[in-house]
Structure 1
Amino acid sequence: MRFPATSIALLTAALTGCTALPNAGPDPRAVETQAAVKVTSAKSKAVGIDYALVDLNKAVLNFVAETKATSLAGGFGGGRGGPPSLPLGVGDVVQVAVFESQAGGLFIPADAGSRPGNYVSLPQQTIERDGTISVPYAGRVRAAGRPVEQIQSEIEDLLANRAIEPQVLITKISSRSAQVAVLGDVRSPAKIELTEAGERVLDVISEAGGLSAPGAETYVTLQRSGRSGTIQYDHLVATPVENIYVAPGDTILVDRERRTYLAFGASGLNGRFDFEDSDLTLGEALGKAGGLLDSRADPAQVLLYRVVGKEFLSKLGVDVSRFTTATVPVIFRANLRDPAAFFAVQKFPMQDKDILYVSNSDSVELIKFLDVVNSVTSTASGVTSDAVSTRDAVRDLTR
């Protein structure tokens, strides 16, 4: 059945000017006209974000898998060589023992005789806020920030004129200054006391009970002296040079960042999906979202939205001079009508916060329009005249 021009004009007016069609919310025109203040974009109503459209092919796969992994060793060092020294510090508890070569000296009474272990152990003491400890007949000795051997030598010199060939031994009972705080998604957050053996990042995480979240979604941040560096946990485990020594006063933050992506359009399921404890490819992400709907999807228009570094597009030979920022919004398009594209989507890695959109086919959009046309031009009485049908439809819709 053909529609006269007058009927089409009336139909168009009815469809564009009527608010009686089914709607799940307020009419868009009402939203705009009733707003007290309107902040709108350009006349074209465009968002105004420049983006690049990249078709998924073999050349793209050569570069898309390249990711810049963050580094701890590069920012802090400490991955090679020995562990850091642990000088005494404020709050440490120490015990000082003084040995003399024979009895009758300053600390060993004369009646003790010559015996192995002519020594006296002084009471345990905490290094004061001023960084000193007290030794009888030697006075207050600065200890904080100095290695044990240096302090022992100074006390021996101070006692040399009173004791008989004094030898001093300082034992660290507990260390408050050489500790590392491990916080976040570990089973037992705690302050870990460091030893002269040297502890690395994974050592202190292990002492805190290990991870309480999947390693693939966990990031480790090291804070030291106002600086910080972050690394993905799995990369830390797989790269021994990144497992650097920790130092007194460090803070280790273990943080889980749930990796998710969004799926919209003509996929079997719409919504937010978790990567869970594994990496995903584009093909796996499509499968997780229910695949493509045969009745709606256009296989040639599978779109992935992502923000990438400008250097990525430069490697593809794209002129990026019009983009003023270091990152560029990119839409990757996969044409699944091409059989080879199924191999490509299985190699294309998904990233956290990607947006996957499956477009409707043109035939679906046409069917939508024809459904509306049919609902307007059909009448209960079955009148076949085009003019009468259109008139009745307009009358019904405008009541």
Structure 2
Amino acid sequence: MLLLAGCNSLPDSGPTEAQVKHAQHDPKKNNLGYGIVQVSPELIALLQSKAPPLFSSFDIATAGLSHASNDTVGPGDVLQISIYEVGSALFSPSSASMAASSASGTNTTPSSSTASSLPLVTVDGSGNIEIPFAGQIHVTGMTTNDVSLAITARLKQKSMAPQVVVRIVSDIANSVMVYGGVRHPSRITLTPNQERILDVIALAGGEDHTTQSDEDYTVRLIRNEQVAELPLKTIENDPQQNIVMQPGDRVQLVFQPRSYTVFGASGQVTQTQFSTPTLTMAEAISRVGGPIDSRADPNAVYLFRFENADVLRSLGMPIDENATTGPIIYKIDMMNPSNYFLADKFMMRDRDLIYVANASSNKFYKFFGLISTLVSPGITAAWIAK
């Protein structure tokens, strides 16, 4: 009894497997309401199915639709319209003097052609423009050539052989917003060249912190109310994720160094950065030296995480309907060889916490070592005296 009491009074680096299980069922200790789930092939499949979508999935979703040509007019665009006329011109300042001379009987020979540039025209929220003598014209979805033909058709009855040239001065409809950790956050105008996501990031000046690794940057893409995130390095390494930009896209570059923490009976208690686009649990554990043979319990390696609410509901965990995340503990038995395959499929996330439980016999060995330390000098002195 004295031996057991002495063992329990010794300090320790963390709970054993039995203590973790007991704390889960103790309402006083488990005030967050977490659950413990064994890592299994079914769990790996569930987590993979709930992973954020890849950028390539946006292209798959619109596979049957043609990509925008990036040369159409839309609300907010500013147009420069030039009109060329032959004979008596509607838009030339000389047309008024020619009309006056004609009324007075003076012969005036009209010039062969007259060019007139209208004041800049803005496409309104309904997609219309207002042109003198032509009226209101709906231009949303038209190319500049289509707009020229539409204005020309309206003026044919009022002008002699009119020709119209339309140019987009400020292109709002065919643009994307690039912001966050770039040098020049701005609106990037797309062209018929079909710029891709790395192109618009480069046009915005690239990463703001050039001394940092690309693994520390995350690209967040918002398209049609869908949101996807990928490490910048993943997009650079996988051409399928470097998708073509579409008008209205929003691209945010986020500087976010990812890290995980390790506690317990591991080779090193530390906070470690990912330094790679993706990281598995097996890689994370090996980076800190793995469980220590002398005091770890490889049967009980835990990963603490605030998991997405959808995953918790799929696992049958109680969670508030308004919550977006909730606490959970994933357990893996490293004494089972097949679980090493699972650890190589279990993906780590930013701020995950790995805990390697202490072996239940650890306190006994600590107590035995303490007794040996106290008794050994006396035995040595008695041996010398003898």
TM-score range, shorter chain: 0.5 to 0.7
Preserved contact between residue 262 and residue 354 of structure 1 (Cα < 8 Å): yes
Provide the secondary structure at the position in 1 that maps to 2:361: helix
Q: Secondary structure at the match of 2:365?
A: helix
Q: Which moved more, 1:266-275 or 1:353-362?
A: 353-362
The alpha-carbon deviation at position 98 of structure 1 amounts to 2.2
Question: Cα gap change, 1:312/1:82 in structure 2, threshold over 3 Å: closer, same or farther?
Answer: closer
What is the TM-score when the length of structure 2 is the normalising length? Answer: 0.65
Is 1:51 aligned to residue 49 of structure 2? no
Give the 3 Å change call, closer, same or farther, for CA 63–371 of structure 1 in structure 2.
Answer: same
Moved more, 180-189 or 200-209: 200-209
Is 1:83–2:68 an aligned residue pair?
yes
1:330-363 deviations in whole A, cap 9, x for unaligned?
Answer: 4222334x56665664454433332211222233
Give the CA deviation at 1:164.
1.0
In structure 1, distance between residues paired with 2:309 and 2:152: 65
| Gap regions ≥5 residues in structure 1 | 23-40, 383-399
Deviations 1:143-195 (A, max 9, x none): 77463455434533443344212222212233245432200123432221233
Are the structure 2 counterparts of residues 74 and 291 from structure 1 closer, same or farther at C-alpha, using a change threshold of 3 Å? closer
Amino acid at match of 1:92: V
> Against the structure 1 CA distance between its residues 253 and 228, is the aligned structure 2 distance closer, same or farther, given a 3 Å change threshold?
farther
Task: Find the counterpart in structure 2 of residue 303 from structure 1.
Answer: 302
1:28 corresponding residue in structure 2: none
Task: Trace 1:245-324 onto structure 2 (pairs within 5 A).
Answer: 245-248=245-248, 250-306=249-305, 323-324=317-318
**Aligned mate of 2:155, from 153, 159, 168:** 159
Closer/same/farther in 2, CA of residues 312 and 180 from structure 1, 3 Å limit:
closer
Q: How many percent identity over aligned positions?
A: 23
Instruction: Please give the residue correspondences for 1:157-236 in structure 2 after superposition, counting only pairs within 5 Å.
Output: 157-176=153-172, 178-211=174-207, 214=213, 216=215, 218-223=217-222, 227-233=225-231
Superposition deviation, residue 89 in structure 1: 3.6
SS in 2 for 1:350: coil
Shift of 1:82: 3.0
State whether residues 280 and 350 of structure 1, in contact with CA within 8 Å, keep that contact through their aligned partners in structure 2.
yes
Of residues 323, 348, 351, the one that matches 1:350 is 348
Say whether the 8 Å CA contact 1:104–1:111 is kept in structure 2.
Answer: no
Radius of gyration: which is bigger?
A: 1
CA displacement 1:96-142 (0-9 Å, x = unmatched): 23243xx455559875765xxx3404155252878876756x27655
Distance between the aligned counterparts of 1:179 and 1:310, measured in 2? 35
Q: For the Cα contact (< 8 Å) 1:182–1:192, is it kept in 2?
A: yes
- CA RMSD between the two structures: 4.8
Aligned 1:355-370 pairs, distance under 5 A: 355-369=353-367
Q: Is the 8 A contact 2:54 2:230 kept in 1?
A: no
Say whether the 8 Å CA contact 1:219–1:230 is kept in structure 2: no
Instruction: Please state whether the residue corresponding to 2:48 is helix, strand or coil.
Output: coil
1:120 aligns with 2:115: yes
Distance 1:99 1:312, change over 3 A: same
Distance (whole Å) between structure 2 residues aligned to residue 252 and residue 246 of structure 1 = 11
Question: Number of matched residues?
Answer: 335
Query: Take 1:196 and 1:46, find their aligned partners in 2: how far apart are those partners?
Result: 61
1:83 and 1:197 in contact (8 A); partners too: no
TM-score, scaled relative to structure 1: 0.63
CA contact (8 A) 1:105 1:162 kept: no
